[in-house]
Amino acid sequence: MTETSDLLIFWAVILARFFLPLAIPRYPLPAIVGALILDMIDQTIFQRFTNLPLEGYQGYDKSLDVYYLAIAYISTLRNWTNLFAFKLSRFLFYYRLVGVALFELTQMRLLLLIFPNTFEYFFIFYEAVRLRWNPIRLTKTKLVGAVAFIWIVIKLPQEYWIHIARMDTTDWIRANPLNILVLVAWVAIILVAAWLLLRGLPPDRRGLSFTVDPIPPVPAISSKGSDMGKPSEQLINGALIEKIALVSLLSIIFAQVLPDVRASSLQIAVGVAILIVINTVLSNWLALREAGWSSVLQEFVVMAAVNFGLVLAADLLLPRFNGSIDLGNALFLVLLLTLNVTLYDRYRQVHMQRFAGED
């Protein structure tokens, strides 16, 4: 029988992994480093302080990784002022997201090597630069060089070590203490490469700034928004397509590890698309009446209530047509959907105003 202390530790770690990433939009570097460290030590915490069985936890772990990376990607819409860096990060994020989705569907570990998580370290690199320098000064050559270095020197060896060789660093060092010199040399190479990339960039501020730069107030929903056009264009646009792709992939990944999920990946994607279209229609309806949200929290609460209502209605109606849904799983996935769509809609307005006519 599972002890109460084990459950308390388990849920404390899981809740931390869900709530800590929500700080990334305001405190990008410390929050994502914290999420990364928690990801590295969570299983060690469970092994040392609980007697919980951890079979299958790797699937949950990978899903939680994708969750905080999604929050990090969405935060780039709000915070990043270098458009080319943003475009690189968008490619790297979706490249990894597709790879994780394929891995969850096929369980082919080689896919995690082919689709390495370069986005996370590129995000950390950009935010580390922003501590003292203006990221706009990063040229395309420096940015591409940073991506190439992270991909080849850092992530490929790391992904191979973890997912293909399945080696444990602690055991490797215990087997031969001199192996720690290899790690020291690897870290030294990374530091030298970072120095070469940043050489010549004049500091733009004194001290270090861990909070994001302030942005002017931007209406979350506005009929005069930069990506709003004719009524027919307001519904079907790049934002809608990206939201469907983003949330569908996230939902498919989480569905592979949630218990008792009966829907296929196609059914999940279709359900997500329907919900997002309904949300978009509602938002545009409010925009036509010059209504809006006073805060991100208000938008999240209202849209979550709407989406929960739609799921509950589906749960009541589907049995009449010989269908059914697992209500708990559906509500969890809808909560995930609502969170990501709310942040995406709010921060995309910032991005569109910042790069009007450029993106």
| Residue 213 located in a structural domain | no
Model pTM score:
0.85
- Do 83 and 148 have their domain in common? yes
| Residue 218 located in a structural domain | no
pLDDT bin (cut points 50, 70, 90) of residue 356 is confident
- Do 153 and 279 have their domain in common? no
| pLDDT computed for residue 225 by the predictor | 41
- Do 153 and 12 have their domain in common? yes
Digit-coded pLDDT (tens) for 143-178: 999 999 999 988 998 888 877 877 766 667 777 777
- Do 57 and 130 have their domain in common? yes
| Residue 192 located in a structural domain | yes
- Do 94 and 164 have their domain in common? yes
| Residue 156 located in a structural domain | yes
- Do 237 and 289 have their domain in common? yes
| Residue 194 located in a structural domain | yes
Give the residue ranges of DSSP H helices in the chain.
4-19, 28-49, 57-79, 83-106, 110-114, 118-130, 140-149, 156-159, 169-175, 179-198, 231-235, 238-255, 265-288, 296-317, 327-354
* Average pLDDT of the residues in 251-269: 80
- Do 350 and 300 have their domain in common? yes
- Do 14 and 101 have their domain in common? yes
Domain count of the fold of the chain: 2
Closest CA to 65 of 126, 127, 112: 112
What whole-number distance in Å separates Cα of residue 202 and Cα of residue 197? 12
Domain holding 302, by residue range, is 231-354
Q: Which of 177, 198, 219 is the endpoint of a domain?
A: 198
- Do 49 and 182 have their domain in common? yes
- Do 129 and 241 have their domain in common? no
CA atoms within 13 A on the CB side of 258: 21
Q: With b meaning 16 or more CB within 10 Å and e meaning fewer, what string describes 110-138? A: ebbbebbbbbbbbbbbbbbbbebbbbeeb
